[in-house]
Chains A and B, each alone.
Chain A
Amino acid sequence: MAHTESSGSSHWFGGEGTPTARLMMYILLAIVLMFMDQHGHYVPRIRSVLELAFEPVFHVVGWPAQAIDSLGAHTRAREDLVSENQQLKQQLLLTAASVQTQAALVQENQRLRNLLEATRGRAYQFKFAEIMQVDLDPFSHKILIDRGAREGVVVGQSVIDGLGIVGQVEAVHRHYSSVRLISDPDHALPVQINRTGLRTVAFGSGGTSHLLMPNVPLQADVSPGDKIVTSGLGDRFPPGFPVGEVVRVQRDSGDTFAVVYVRPFAALDRGREVLLIEPSAPSEPALDEQP
């Protein structure tokens, strides 16, 4: 017993120690790495350099899925395409109708803002990006998108899909970026309940089926069915984008806060395309000040 211990400690870094000692060393190293990664010491930076080096791997891995996709597109029946086309046309018409009414609303809003001499609000521009077909660790709460620094993506940009907020850009590489999903337990999203205007924070739960709002006062007016939108506080996410819908409110009289479960609108685990919200020019008055 004493013998193995002494021989283990004498060859700590020589790689010849007893297997147990070496196992302990590696476990310790792994724990230190995990801790540093979790708390953002050095490791994330090293990791982003390595990701850059490994970039071709992501493209290679995506090929089979792309091939299958294009194969599927080529072999689809004509009737399918026609009916889909029909469907899309109808959808477009419906969307166009609602956009028309919106245009009137925007004008009215602008006029009222002018009357109040308030700022002109913000207009957003979107950039299309496709989700890369790479199967990441389910606990990483990350997706990769096929736009990077070359296409002007910046860290912190909000990412949405057709239905709601997806996440924010976490790291930007040359041709791709990684996006942190709102389902990450470490992710906090400043939100507002649309009906009452109550502002709170929605945290990820680790699962893609719901988010948690643990800081809602017990007496607050929240009920299932309420729509949740971003509040714009914190200046990361622009205000007014849909996040999800309240599905359950848990009020324990012993607690200080109610726990509210929110079902996110965005397809966090099965989307294909996303939109990046361009960092907008803050407001019009800033432009007016220029000569």
Chain B
Amino acid sequence: MNTGRENRRLVFLTVVAAILLSLLPLPEALLPFKPYWVAMVVIYWALETQDMMGMGLAFLTGLVLDVLSGSLMGMHALSLVVMVFLVQRFRSRLRFFPPWQQALSVFGLLVNDRIILIWITALLGEPMPTWKYWLAPLVGMALWPWIFLLLDRMRASMRQRSS
């Protein structure tokens, strides 16, 4: 029971950290490499816990991100809900993948997400983005094992402290 509450606090903290990280200004040259931090954290929680990250929370997180990053209201909400849905759908399989295979599936999720975003922004009259647009999912894939380990470590230490 207690670990549940601890876990909830950790979910909150990591999601907030991811949102801040995505707002953090980067030098112009690094901008296309910026991974979709919030999505990675959301994927982790949806994958590793049964009920901490549902579609409702993902939607809410997306809305907060929309307000803060100035994007169209509902855009990130949509993208994160779809992501959580897909993770939950294939959860039993994804969990037992070796790390590299899991990273590959995360890459798939992130690419799928970018396709959805392109579709929305095209409806708004934005031009087609350049090839650099597709670098972010690659960076996300490369970072996935590390983020996974980091969050796992944080959760383990949280559990130890509470017991």
Which residues does A use to contact B, with CB under 8 Å? 15, 19, 22-23, 26-27, 29-34, 36-38, 43, 47, 50-51, 54, 57-58, 60-62, 64-65, 133-140, 142, 178, 185-186, 205-207, 269-270
Contact = CB atoms under 8 A, between A and B. Distances in A.
B73 A139 contact: no
Nearest to A185: B125
Contact of A34 (B20, B59, B120): B120
Given A139-B124, A139-B126, A185-B124, A29 B73 contact: no
Given A22-B55, A27-B82, A135-B25, A140 B70 contact: yes
Majority SS at the chain B contact face: helix
Interface of B: 20, 22-26, 28, 31, 34, 55-56, 59, 62-64, 67-75, 77-78, 81-82, 85, 88-89, 120-121, 124-127
B28 A61 contact: no
Contacts of B73: 33-34, 36-37, 43, 47
A65 B25 contact: yes
B74 A64 contact: no
Contacts of B20: 57, 60-61
A71 B128 CA distance: 38
Majority SS at the chain A contact face: helix
A71 to B, nearest CB: 15
Contact of A19 (B24, B31, B89, B121): B89
B67 A37 contact: no
B94 to A, nearest CB: 15
26 contacts: A19-B89, A23-B81, A23-B82, A26-B55, A27-B82, A29-B59, A29-B74, A30-B59, A30-B62, A32-B74, A34-B75, A37-B73, A54-B67, A58-B68, A61-B23, A133-B25, A135-B34, A139-B71, A139-B72, A139-B121, A140-B69, A185-B124, A205-B127, A206-B125, A206-B126, A269-B28
A178 B68 CA distance: 11
A64 B24 contact: yes
Contacts of A60: 20
A132 to B, nearest CB: 9
Task: Give the 8 A-B CB pairs with smallest separation, nearest first.
Answer: A33-B74, A140-B70, A30-B78, A137-B71, A30-B74, A37-B73, A185-B125, A206-B126
Contacts of A133: 25
